[in-house]
A and B are shown apart, each in its own frame.
Chain A
Amino acid sequence: MPPISGSERVNVGKNERIASAAGGAALVALGLKRFSPGGLALALAGGGLVARAVTGYCPINAATGRNTAGEQPDALDLTTAVTVQAPRDEVYAFWRRLENLPTFMEHLRQVRRLDGGRSRWTADVPGLSASLEWDAETVADEEGERLAWRSVPGSDVENAGEVRVRDAPGERGTEVEVRISYRPPAGDAGRALAGLLSPVFEQMVKEDVRRFKHVMEVGTVPTTEGQPSGRG
């Protein structure tokens, strides 16, 4: 697992980020409980606050020259695994084409390959008008075994990832272990913030990995969105 790079764009400090994360998460939860335009607006507003906490960057702070950031906290780090009914080489090849990642990583809009083992990642965060963008570099490419990448120094979103694949026993396909690391650049309040964010982060990564399985096995992600109901 590569270490995460540092960032120079943090201008929101510890207490503000904790408050942003907590308040934002609450608004998202509240908003998503309502199937209405009002609920959606709440969720979007909450998402904006979460984004502010997640990136540690606030456009308003930037515009006003305000900077409340402190030191680097510990990273959020999650490992999850899934068994995919597909050959190991195919699984590895799919993941290695980083352009494929947005087909199952919900918040990722696009990954473009650049020269020199680098890639440019674009993510949409609900409530954030501009998308987030960062460059990553591939730091391990062991065919059919292990792939690893990390964001380059100075990224908005500091993160790293690693995928290991191995044959599952019998006819069970391929075991895929995914490790995602993300650092909330939140000064010395990082641990507290990580505590607030980690359930959301964990669920997000696990659902992304589940969608990866769906895409590999079926080609699509199951959906009921757009089906009829008597909810009016």
Chain B
Amino acid sequence: MKALCWYGTHDVRVETVPDPTILDPRDAIIDISLTAICGSDLHLYDGYIPTMEAGDILGHEFMGEVVEVGSEVQNLKKGDRVVVPFPISCGHCYYCGKEEYSLCDNSNPNAAIAETAYGYSPAGLYGYSHMLGGYAGGQAEYARVPYADVGPIKVPDGLTDEQVLFLSDIFPTGYQAALNCGIEGGDVIAVWGCGPVGLFCIESAFLLGAERVLAIDRFPERLAMARQAGAETLNYADESIFGALKELTAGRGPDACIDAVGLEAHGFGIIGAYDKAKQTLRLQTDRPTALREAIQACGKGGTVSLAGVYGGVVDKLNIGAAFGKGLTFKMGQTHVQKYLPKLMGHIEAGDVDTTFMITHRKALADAPEMYKTFRDKEDNCVKVVLQP
């Protein structure tokens, strides 16, 4: 089959590789009908995630048709159309039992490596480094789906692939970030980053009862999409975000702040240059510009919710501000499986628009070019979907 393989920083290629096969009785093989490039794939592309190996197949947002199931998969059969959650979860451990699927105890074959970095290992993920399992990803014609009796959700007839594809990651990710804000009536939520996850944060915050959402970015096409989703927008290239947020909330500050940017935030000025230099020299792994700003801007007793991916160490976080204002921090990979039935319901009911952020519909063969386009935000690129 054809698959998008990672060979090094800024070196991804579509290669012919062997087809996946059933390796465990609970596996299924999916014939992928639609897949996407995630903003977090750019961290791999840019070489910021350790334990990648040349030849790894990328991609963790995918869906398709079941073509084969292992002997212990009872809930799926050949021909079923399914969306696959990006965390790989066994369904039987303590964490899966609590629906904390991205913390699964059993799905990471390389748990020892993750333990070295994080103390304890989270779930394995598709196409997201060997530390997180080394599983082959879904930017390919076919994928092997482990624990297929736990993960994939069947798609009702009448919904298109594009409508449901983002249930694999970015819709639940935006939803969990908004849920983590503990939204109550009257709450004003600020969202850093109007990429696809940020847009789903905005939509989800409204679904969960936010009064207003204030969204921050600098790219006009992304700010326009945020307004389309109902947010008031701020361009950080034009104004001081802290001042603007304080003013827009009449001095209270946002009740919760979502960082939908993550470890490659674009920083300005001296601190921006400082972060970039330290990251380049590997003195810090992540550039936390958005996070720093969120901590500073968040109102007293508020919540800072992280949707953007962080991989390692950051510095110059004002923990004193967080302490002084009594902030709550919530973060982590999304427990996708937990939210799927509810979010599928929202899509069926037409409560959310899950396709308006798609700017590029391409073939899998175009993936290497699209990684570059997406990374450089050329051609007004916001979200790329690929048809294998």
Main secondary structure of the interface of A (DSSP, over half): loop
CB-contacts of A218-232 with B (<8 A): 218, 220-232
Q: A173-B94, A217-B90, A232-B55 are in contact. Are A224 and B106 (CB under 8 A)?
A: no
- Number of contacting residues on A, CB 8 A? 26
Q: Is the CB of A172 within 8 A of B54?
A: no
Judge if A129 is at the interface, Cβ distance under 8 Å. Answer: no
Q: Which of A170-226 contact B (CB under 8 A)?
A: 171-173, 203, 206-207, 210, 213-214, 217-218, 220-226
Q: Is the CB of B56 within 8 A of A230?
A: yes
Please tell me which one of the listed residues B24, B97, B140 contacts residue A171 in the complex, with CB atoms under 8 A apart: B97
The reply to whether B53 and A231 contact each other, CB–CB distance below 8 Å, is: yes
A220 contacts across to B, CB distance below 8 A: 24-26
Contacts of B146 in A (CB 8 A): 222
Complex: A148 Cα to B208 Cα, angstroms: 55
A230 to B94, CA, bound (A): 35
Per a CB cutoff under 8 Å, which of B19, B111, B124 touches A228? Answer: B19
Shortest distance between the CB of A153 and any CB in chain B (Å): 35
In angstroms, Cα B136 to Cα A141, docked, is 44
Number of A-B contacts (CB under 8 A): 87
> What is the CB-to-nearest-CB distance from A34 to chain B, in angstroms, rounded to a whole number?
12
Whether B134 contacts A218 by the Cβ 8 Å rule is no
Is residue A103 within 8 Å, beta carbon to beta carbon, of the partner chain?
no
Q: How far is the CA of A9 from the CA of B232 in the complex (A)?
A: 80
Pick the contact of B57 from A83, A207, A230 — CB < 8 Å?
A230
Does B21 sit within 8 A of A, measured CB to CB? yes
CB distance from A166 to the nearest CB of B (A): 16
* Binary CB contact string for chain A from 24 to 59 against chain B (1 if under 8 A, 0 otherwise): 000000000000000000000000000000000000
Given contacts A222-B146, A224-B135, contact A229 B57 (CB under 8 A): yes
Q: Chain A residues near B363: list those with CB within 8 A.
A: none
Which residues of chain A come closer than 8 Å to B94, judged between CB atoms?
Answer: 83, 85, 171-173
| B337 close to chain A: CB less than 8 A | no
- Within 8 Å by CB of A207, from B3, B7, B55, B112, lies B112
B5 within 8 A of A: yes
Q: Which of B147-193 contact A (CB under 8 A)?
A: none
Which 5 pairs between the two chains have the least Cβ-Cβ distance?
A230-B5, A231-B55, A230-B55, A228-B17, A230-B15
Q: What are 9 inter-chain pairs, A to B, with CB distance below 8 A? A: A85-B93, A173-B94, A217-B105, A218-B106, A220-B25, A229-B53, A230-B5, A230-B17, A231-B55
Residues of A in contact with B (beta carbons under 8 Å apart): 83, 85, 171-173, 203, 206-207, 210, 213-214, 217-218, 220-232
